[in-house]
Chains A and B, each alone.
Chain A
Amino acid sequence: MYKYDAIDRQLVNERVAQFRDQVRRWQDGELTDDEFRPLRLQNGLYVQRHAPMFRIAVPYGLLNSTQLRKLAFLARTYDRGYGHFTTRHNLQLNWPQITDVPDMLAHLAEVEMHAIQTSGNCIRNITTDQFAGVAADEVIDPRPLAEILRQWSTFHPEFAFLPRKFKIAISGTREDRAVTWFHDIGLHLVEGPGGETGFRVIVGGGLGRTPIRGQVVREYLPWQHILSYCEAILRVYNRFGRRDNAYKARIKILVQALGVEEFARQVEAEWVHGKDGPATITQAEFDRVAAHFVAPAYETLPAADREFEQRRQSEKAFARWVDRNTHAHKVPGYAAVTLSLKPHGVAPGDITSDQMDAVAGLADRYSFGELRISHEQNIILADVRQSNLYALWQEAKAIGLATPNIGLLTGIICCPGGDFCDLANAKSIPIATAIQQRFDDLDYLFDIGEIDLNISGCMNACGHHHVGHIGVLGVDKNDAEFYQVTLGGRQGNDAKLGKVIGPSFSAGEMPDVVDKIIKVYIENRHTDERFLDTLDRIGIDPFKNRVYEGRAHGRAKAAEKEAA
């Protein structure tokens, strides 16, 4: 992974000193609360329900074991011994003291980490695919460009005070795994006529209050130009994005207001001036950064390990884990492993300091000392020898991170919600755990098969509910917490927003609602049909009818019809 050089190190150290001084001035009254707020936000520091929330950047999801041990140390020393991985690969701590944060940043800087621009109206952490560099279907490794984007966006002087936050994702596989359709800018790999690397530039996507699928502003942009092109997009946005209403300030609103053709015209007119300018990425710079992401020292191994196959035949529990939690690797004899941060009954994405230390050990012993965080809030060990899978599984089981539910109903994506977050309309974690408890039977869970269930505590959509096959959104009805359900959302190349099925439910009803939805699927599925396939074939009405059967809502509707 990328190793800091003297300049990178100097910048994060200077950032620590700068923030330490800002905190001091705020305490001394030299900075007002209003003046301090954007400064602390750009260091990932929110003031939340219980205490400040501190968000640490995990750039494009990549960590080494030393860094994870440092995170464990920080959570143990300055917080309550656990942290929460978010859908943007970052780690959140829920109870640090503001005055400790400068020291925490100093600790992070020691291991080449920071909290720069993890919040605030600026360019946020760049995200990509958790299997970058090892996916069997990868065309290019997006990590060098993600790092180049990270450096370019760090303290960009023109774009530190945008109308609103700004998120960029980059994907190097043909099948998009970085949710590029739902970012402010999504860069999705497209090969040029001669096989050159380029990107389709998608702008104005986003979940949140106004969920919109992004639109293509340019079909093909050679990789050398991504910085200058992003600058052109950002300049148009910085100048003309709305600043009068925070809810209408994201770039998606500007793109909608202008229409994508006019927006693209303005970007292209702007880009004429920056194209081929100094921001053009040189081959030398690409090569310098890419050299940090060379493949580890893989051994030449047979494609299938005999003992591994035998274990898999003989132990059902192991076979299940292999089935759900390991992924094809481009190198024979290796696999990528997902450690599930979704054990039933624990807040999705949460991990204790002890678990972090243990995972760091697993990474050292089994995966070249590196790991990744996925936007599904799990940890990936990307380079595990097949012959080590059994031992790894046993160790992961012992620390509670081997639930075989990746891609299954209980592998829920869930935001912190009303238990922690000030913006929440409703709690989200108890919904997740109640559903996990209801579907605690592994046989049944496997029988149900692949399904994404995503939960957000408010329309800010940190839990990506719009793109869950089943999406759950916390809403506020006369000061009570309710949940709206959507069906049919999805990520990937055919990314799509889910459709609301009808009036919302109370927390207590939610496990039953999900149960009914699943039953309709099971009753209607053809062999080999996944949930989504059945849903696409039969439409949402059968699900709706079952869920609302016998509810006041259904009767009221019938009465309405009769009256009409």
Chain B
Amino acid sequence: MAQLIKNQAVAVDAWKTLEIAEGETPETVALPAGDVIFPLAVWQARKAEIISCHKRIGLLITPDDRVEDVAADLDYFIVIAVHFPRFVDGRGYSTAALLRQRYGYQGELRAVGDVLHDQLFFMKRVGFDSYALKDGKSVDFALAAGFTPFAEPYQGATDQPEPHFRRRSA
């Protein structure tokens, strides 16, 4: 199990992520009860059904998904998980930046998958606020050092929209 960091603390993860097993399709997979993170394809195929039986809804976005496709639905989601299949696949950073900066998503934005210590700073900057740190990595060390390697970055991002040059005292 990955270890969840949320609001700069270790958190208990109440969410289950729906996995589509072999032989199942987004159209046919059984929708479990409880707090569930649904893959984007399932959400698209079964939106009405999900809304009717779930109060708290989560969404899973993988790198091949287009965030534009769910831009109009963001109010439904309490958590959006952005999947990093490998930490060197940086598409999730743009997904997060778009969700926060362009589409105004305010809910929990969670990095899942190959989430490692040395990427936490970048993730925080583009707008993630929870992190499913990969198994075997130290949560304590992540909390102590992972988010703060650099105190004052140059460029604007979600966490600080103004680049440093606009915040300089003259």
Contact = CB atoms under 8 A, between A and B. Distances in A.
A474 B149 CA distance: 42
Contacts of B162: 278
Nearest to A153: B155
B111 to A, nearest CB: 12
Contacts of B15: none
Interface stretch (A6-14, A134-142, A179-187, A447-455): A6-14
A424 interface: no
Contact of B156 (A30, A35, A121, A278): A278
Contacts of A21: 145
A158 B166 contact: no
Contacts of A239: 91, 94-95
A162 to B, nearest CB: 6
Interface string B24-39: 0000000000000000
B104 interface: no
Contact of B155 (A35, A156, A238, A282): A156
B151 interface: yes
Contact of B126 (A7, A151, A158, A227): A158
A211 interface: no
Interface in B125-170: 125-126, 138, 145, 149-157, 161-166, 168, 170
Nearest to B154: A151
Contacts of A30: 138
Given A11-B150, A38-B88, A282-B165, A158 B97 contact: yes
A260 interface: no
B152 A157 contact: no
Contacts, number: 108
Interface string B83-107: 0000111110111010001100000
B164 to A, nearest CB: 6
SS of A interface (majority)? helix
B87 to A, nearest CB: 7
B154 A158 contact: no
Contacts of A35: 87, 116, 118
Contact of A7 (B89, B164, B166): B164
Given A161-B88, A278-B161, A22 B118 contact: yes
B121 interface: yes
B122 interface: yes
Contact of B152 (A7, A148, A159, A282): A7
Given A14-B149, A157-B122, A273-B102, A282 B166 contact: yes
Identify which of A7, A151, A161, A243 gathers the most chain B CB atoms within 10 Å of its CB: A161
A85 to B, nearest CB: 27
A148 B154 CA distance: 10
B103 to A, nearest CB: 11
Contact of B163 (A22, A31, A278): A278
Nearest to B145: A21
B54 to A, nearest CB: 29
Contacts of B91: 238-239, 243
A154 interface: yes
Interface string B59-100: 000000000000000000000000000011111011101000
20 contacts: A11-B150, A11-B152, A14-B149, A14-B150, A15-B150, A35-B116, A151-B164, A152-B154, A154-B155, A155-B153, A157-B153, A158-B97, A158-B122, A159-B93, A160-B93, A273-B101, A273-B102, A277-B156, A282-B165, A282-B166
Interface of A: 7, 10-11, 14-15, 17-18, 21-22, 30-31, 35, 38-39, 121, 148, 151-152, 154-162, 227, 235, 238-239, 243, 273, 277-279, 281-282, 284-285, 288
Given A148-B165, A159-B93, A227-B163, 6 more contacts: A151-B165, A156-B155, A157-B125, A158-B126, A158-B157, A243-B89
